[in-house]
Amino acid sequence: MQFARVNDASIHYELIGTPGDKPVIAFANSLGTDFRIWRDVIVRLADAFTILVYDKRGHGLSDLVEAPYSIERHASDLAGLLDLLSIRRAVICGLSVGGLIAQSMYRLRPDLIDALILCDTAPKIGSDIIWNGRIADIEANGLVSMADAVMERWFTPAFRDLERTAVAGYANMLVRQPKEGYVAACAAIRDADLTNAASKIAVPTLCVVGDQDGATPPDLVRSMADLIPGARFAIIANAGHIPCVEQPETLVALIRDFIASLSAKDPPHER
């Protein structure tokens, strides 16, 4: 296991490959998960890319740290981790809240970013009422009280039926996250609105979404793509909110094609 002191937190991460040898992709996780959700994507990309995965503060094995903390703080953590690892440029791939982190990181440190891949996310996710209600429910009843509802948003009915053992494991991942870290992330999502910043994104961007995403539906993700100049948009069939688990081959194909399309101009690489 690898840990780094970034800002005021110990951040758990894994670096696969050597910066400078291959283009770098850094992955930022969704709410209630740790970096293991990217496994089936990593094994399909490690031949061509150096890969960085990490647990955001309050999740996985990273420090909880006293709340509150914002999406901007999460973005600062990722930027600080890249600096610490001497990664000067990377493609940032963020899922859900990880996509908010990626967008915020572009505003904070555009010098570190070659391109963005924004999965099942938006500049503004949900409303104050939704997030305040979820926070109150978790504080009263714990994460286990909402596990079934979250699995319904994360995965399609077909996946939940055919992969019951796996779904049970992902539910375990959710409920074993620190409650305080989950609540702090909910508050950070609630308070984040990057709508005005989206139109200022000036790096190549791919926006993707599962066709059955119950958290950030296709129309919401499409509206984000419309805000970002030149952004591409793709829908992944037979996927919910976490296509890296449910449809990793399709997501990997989109990532490879997107990054390959950049090479004619200026290949994303360490510079």
User: 192: Cβ–Cβ under 8 A, 6 or more apart, which residues?
Assistant: 70, 71, 100, 104, 124, 125
SS3 49: coil
Name the 3-class secondary structure at 90: strand
pLDDT per position as a tens digit, 126-151: 999 999 999 999 999 999 999 999 99
- 82 touches 111 (CB < 8 A): no
Residue 22 · residue 45 · CB < 8 Å? no
Residue 21 is predicted with a pLDDT of 80
Token pair recorded at residue 41 = 């994507």
Residues paired with residue 5 on neighbouring β-strands, in sequence order? 10
Return d(Cα 193, Cα 52) in angstroms, integer. 26
Helices 71-84 and 97-108, interaxial angle, to 10°? 70
User: What residues of the chain score a pLDDT lower than 50?
Assistant: 267-271
Least Cα distance to 37 among 58, 18, 60, 64 occurs for: 60
Per DSSP, the three-state class of 252 is: helix
Q: Which domains does the chain have, with CATH numbers?
A: 2-262 (3.40.50.1820)
Contact status, residue 77 vs residue 57, Cβ threshold 8 Å = yes
133 is written with which tokens? 């209600």
| Number of C-beta neighbours around residue 211 at 10 A | 15
Half-sphere exposure of residue 22, counting CA atoms within 13 Å on the CB side? Answer: 16
- What length is written for the chain? 271
**Which of helix, strand or coil describes residue 32?**
coil
